[in-house]
Amino acid sequence: MTRFVPAIILILLLSLWAFGVNPITGCEIIARGAFGGEVGLSRTLVAMTPLLLTGLGMVIAWRAGMYNIGGEGQYIIGGLMGASVAKLHFGGPGVILLSTGLGGAFYGALAGWLQVKRGVHAAISTILLNFIALQILAWAVTGPLQAPGTTASQTATLEPDQMLARWSNRTDLHSGVLLAILLSFAVWVLLSYTSFGFHLRLTGENPRAARAAMLNADRIRVQAIALSGGLCGLAGGVQFLGTSGVIDVGFNQQWGFLGIPVALLGGLNALGALASSFLFGALMAGTQSLSRSVLGGDLLIFVIQGAAVLAFLAMRRREQANA
Amino acid sequence: MLDLLRFAAPVAFASLGETIGQRAGVLNIGLEGMMLSGAYAGMLARQTGNPWVGILAGVAAAILVGLLQLIFVLKLEADQVVAGTAINLLALGVTSASYRKIFGESGELLSIPSISNSVLIGFMVLSVPMLTWLLFKTRWGLALRAAGEYPDAVQASGFSVVKLRLQACLIGAAYAGLAGAHLSIVNAASFQEELTKGRGFIAIAMVTFGRFNPAWAFVASVVIGGAEMLQYRLQAQSIQAPPQLFLALPYVFALLVLVFVGKGGRAPGALGIPYRKEQ
């Protein structure tokens, strides 16, 4: 992870320059937006939370050899499931979050089942499922989940007791960030120290050895992508319950996609994802500040992340050549 | 009929090119990004007033993006899915950010004069026998298909697998550029962020559905074009059904196709596997 920091800073400077922004001023704005006092730092942590959760999801799926590119769809389905449960009013944040995880897990498992049983490459099915989820979202917030008595395309606002706890009313920092950090340790333990984690990694790294060890690789793959989808769904839930308490057509902010670079630059390792999600969370909070003075500045995050993954591929190749 | 072909053209161009690439053993997950780059460059160059400049710019942009991806896929032997995903993120970021910077805050629709271009449609239809001939009747096509099945054997008989794959993928990228430029210049006559909306992935699905054969991939793409046209017609008749149902139709169709075609028995044996020369 630390090896990539210089590369990412270089990419950041280059893309600022290419975008016609003075790199020094740009970095200053980004740094202030990301770390400037209580407000800046809490913005970084709030942006880091969904990145970490979707990133952890990608770590689990990709380690099992399942190319889950459907974090976006799983995030949406999770959020919608949460909104449906919230509408019924029979539980607090815990119950709603659980349902968001289950919703995402179901959507992930669907792609897993398609690959294992029908040979549909997950990289393609998950993308198609993303677009279907987007239409389900648009339909739900103008139909069954629309806030009653309004024409706005959004769900009803959550009750205060359905939202995640906050530390202070000056910032948006919510307790979801703690949940995400705890889960990154849980995923680390799961993958490194349990037999399920070992089987999962074996299935991804060496399917032949997994078969030789009499493992049911298909089943492990479906479980892995279900777990992955669950984490992405939870990301949707945490975002829903932690920030605005409302789901509208713009609910998905590409969090599911951005989890992929987070996981890759974290070396497909849970604790690595923790570090890289902090880095990208800071970049995200910073570029949001930048977008106030430079149109489209917040979109630079995609450029930086795409370039960072390519840098990661090139550097890994060099290491392999040297090894 | 011409209307139908016009609707089908973006997916059809993309899937025709992708068939060639997949036959050589490369799964181009970055197809969406190449199409998007082609669409954006095409829209920018269309402002000159000459649609052909736009089309050429779209093709050129997609080839450049394709070359970037191929450095990783062929030279660095990187994972094809990872490299393609990075290209997609990059293309989305660069086109959206620069679009918003040049055309303003909203990044919403921008209209360019629409044209109807039967020359492009003609080229598309002609591409079907042309690519079929290249792939199945020439020595080059034989070597290319072998590079997708048994790369080691091809290398041993004096061909360069990397070179064959490079040629195949550049053809694929050029077609992706045509697809994107056709989408922004002819179909939409406008641009917006993420204009391609997953059409690159639908095209990949159509390649599987078409059993890795240009003619069938083309037929499958026309069916998707039909679904898209139907969606507009039905919406125009204001039928009592949520519009999202129709908008989701092409994706659902593509997914169902993959489910029922299943493992697509005829997939090239070495599809998606980076080729490493034996040292």
Nearest CA in chain B to A319: B76
Do B251 and A299 lie within an 8 Å CB cutoff?
A: no
Which pLDDT score, from 0 to 100, does residue B264 have? 56
Do A306 and B89 lie within an 8 Å CB cutoff?
A: yes
Q: What is the pTM of this model?
A: 0.89
Query: HSE-up of B134 (CA within 13 Å, CB side)?
Result: 21
Report the greatest alpha carbon distance in chain B.
Answer: 64
Mean per-residue pLDDT for A19-43? 88
Residue among B76, B92, B205 minimizing CB distance to A302:
B92
Q: Is the pLDDT higher at A136 or at B228?
A: A136
Q: What are the structure tokens assigned to A210, written together?
A: 């997994």
| Residue B279 contacts A where some CB pair is shorter than 8 Å | no
Contacts B90 to A, Cβ<8 Å: 302-303, 306-307, 310
Pick from A19, A66, A135 the residue to mutate for testing the B interface (most B CBs within 10 Å): A135
The fold for domain A53-315 equals: ABC transporter involved in vitamin B12 uptake, BtuC (1.10.3470)
| Residue A301 contacts B where some CB pair is shorter than 8 Å | yes
* CB interface of B with A, residues 177-236, below 8 Å: 197-198, 201-202, 204-205
Do A307 and B245 lie within an 8 Å CB cutoff?
A: no
The answer for residues whose C-beta is within 8 angstroms of residue B46's C-beta and 6 or more apart is B53, B54, B112, B184, B185
Contacts A119 to B, Cβ<8 Å: 262-264
Contacts A124 to B, Cβ<8 Å: 201, 204-205, 258
What are the structural domain ranges in chain B?
2-107+118-261
What are the structural domain ranges in chain A?
53-315
Residues B124 and B215 sit within 8 Å (Cβ to Cβ): no
Least reliable range by pLDDT among A169-173, A262-266, A298-302: A169-173
Which pLDDT score, from 0 to 100, does residue A66 have? 92
Quick one: what percent of chain A has pLDDT higher than 90?
51
Contacts B72 to A, Cβ<8 Å: 310, 313-314
Which pLDDT score, from 0 to 100, does residue B254 have? 86
Contacts B242 to A, Cβ<8 Å: 139, 142-143
Report the greatest alpha carbon distance in chain A.
Answer: 65
State the nearest Cα–Cα gap between B47 and chain A, in angstroms: 21
Which pLDDT score, from 0 to 100, does residue A163 have? 87
| Cα B87 to Cα B93: distance, rounded to the nearest angstrom | 10
Do A257 and B89 lie within an 8 Å CB cutoff?
A: yes
Q: Is the pLDDT higher at A89 or at A53?
A: A53
The answer for residues whose C-beta is within 8 angstroms of residue B89's C-beta and 6 or more apart is A257, A260, A261, A302, A303, A305, A306, A309, B33
* Nearest C-alpha neighbor of B112 from the set B124, B96, B99, B128: B99
Residues B168 and B74 sit within 8 Å (Cβ to Cβ): no
Least reliable range by pLDDT among A120-129, A161-170, B103-112, B118-127: B103-112
| Residue B27 contacts A where some CB pair is shorter than 8 Å | yes
Amino acid at B172: G
Q: What are the structure tokens assigned to B46, written together?
A: 């269309």
| Local structure of residue A77 (DSSP, 8 states) | H
* CB interface of A with B, residues 91-120, below 8 Å: 114, 118-120
Please give the C-alpha separations between residue B275 and each of A95, A114, A153, A190, B26, in angstroms, as whole numbers: 49, 27, 49, 33, 10
Band of residue A54 on the pLDDT scale cut at 50, 70, 90: very high
Do B72 and A294 lie within an 8 Å CB cutoff?
A: no
Architecture of the CATH domain B2-107+118-261: Orthogonal Bundle (1.10)
Residue among A129, A297, A317 minimizing CB distance to B76:
A317
CB burial class (10 A; 0-12, 13-18, 19+) of residue A81? buried
Q: What are the structure tokens assigned to A137, written together?
A: 């979202």
Please give the C-alpha separations between residue A249 and each of A141, B93, B138, B246, in angstroms, as whole numbers: 7, 20, 51, 17
Do B248 and A67 lie within an 8 Å CB cutoff?
A: no
Question: Could you report the average pLDDT of every consecutive run of 10 residues in chain B (279 residues)?
Answer: 88 96 94 96 88 94 96 90 91 89 67 78 95 95 93 90 95 97 90 88 88 92 87 72 81 86 70 74
* CB interface of A with B, residues 16-55, below 8 Å: 19-20
Do B72 and A314 lie within an 8 Å CB cutoff?
A: yes
CB burial class (10 A; 0-12, 13-18, 19+) of residue B197? middle
Residue A215 has pLDDT above 50, yes or no: yes
